[in-house]
Every structure is written in C-alpha cells, then in structure tokens.
Amino acid sequence: MRLRVITVGGKMPGWVAAAVAEYGKRLPRELRLEWRELPLARRGRDSQAAALRAREGEQILKAIPAGDRVIALDVEGESWSTPQLAAQLEDWQMSGASVSLLVGGPDGLAAECLAMAERHWSLSALTLPHPLVRVLLAEQLYRAWTITVKHPYHRG
C-alpha cells in the first residue's frame, strides 16, 4: 500500500526534508510514504484566492492515481486522535487501495478536491505552516503504524 501526500508548495528547508525522510524510512516496505510536490499557482498583486485554489486544484486532481482513496487535509475536517488515525490506517490497509492525502496551498484546497475526498481530516484547529504540516503528517502516520503493530514508540 502506498500513502501518497500530494501537496502544493515551494521548496522546503533541509530540516523538513530530513524529518520527512526519517519517518518515511522507518515505515515498512509494504507501507510506502511518497511525496508529490506540485508548484504553487503564480501569484501577483491582483491574484484572487478562488482562482489560485482552482488552478492548484486542477494540478492536484491530475496527480491523484486512479483507484486511490482520497483524504483531504482541511482545517474544517474531522479531528482524529492518534489511535483513531491508527484505526483509519488499518482500514486503508485492509481495503488494499493506496491512499492520496491532499494538502492545499496557502489558500487551501479547491472545492473539487474537497468533493472528491471520502474524508476530510484536520490536523489541528491551529493555522500551521506548510513545513510543519509535512513533518507532523509524516510523524503521525509513522506513529499510527506503530500502534497497529504494537511497537513501543507510541506510549498512549
């Protein structure tokens, strides 16, 4: 099974890449964490958030492989505890399908991306910078996996 994070954004600092790579390599071969970074829509003085979201949304929709389950990261989505995320991960693994996790740009996800998603997941009610979202997402996916295999990393 593959967990694909499809994200809109620019080049991340080295510490982000290092942290994401570390958590990714801790996962077993049968649970691959992949990152697909898409460029931000060009912004200018007269840019409208809705138009930017729509352009970025088109890119995201094209990047989702056929057959993937789609989960949108959305501040207004459901808030899951780590054990609830572990249960989601088990469900995803049992389904046999890969999962695409969608992370929008600074203006959020397009309505079409939200509509395509079977679930909307909120990492936090706080506004988080994209570099931190990536690290938090990678760590929580790793932590959820450790719960499913009863590894001592999670001390819940």
Cβ contact 95:69 at 8 Å: yes
Tell whether residue 104 is among the known ligand binding residues.
yes
Tell whether residue 108 is among the known ligand binding residues.
no
The DSSP code for 116 is H
Describe the crossing of helices 130-148 and 82-95 by its angle, rounded to 10 degrees. Answer: 70
Tell whether residue 101 is among the known ligand binding residues.
no
Tell whether residue 148 is among the known ligand binding residues.
no
d(CA 134, CA 104): 12
Q: Count other Cβ atoms within 10 Å, centred on residue 123.
A: 19
Tell whether residue 125 is among the known ligand binding residues.
yes
Tell whether residue 54 is among the known ligand binding residues.
no
As annotated, the binding site includes 73, 104, 123-128
Binding-site members for S-adenosyl-L-methionine are 73, 104, 123-128
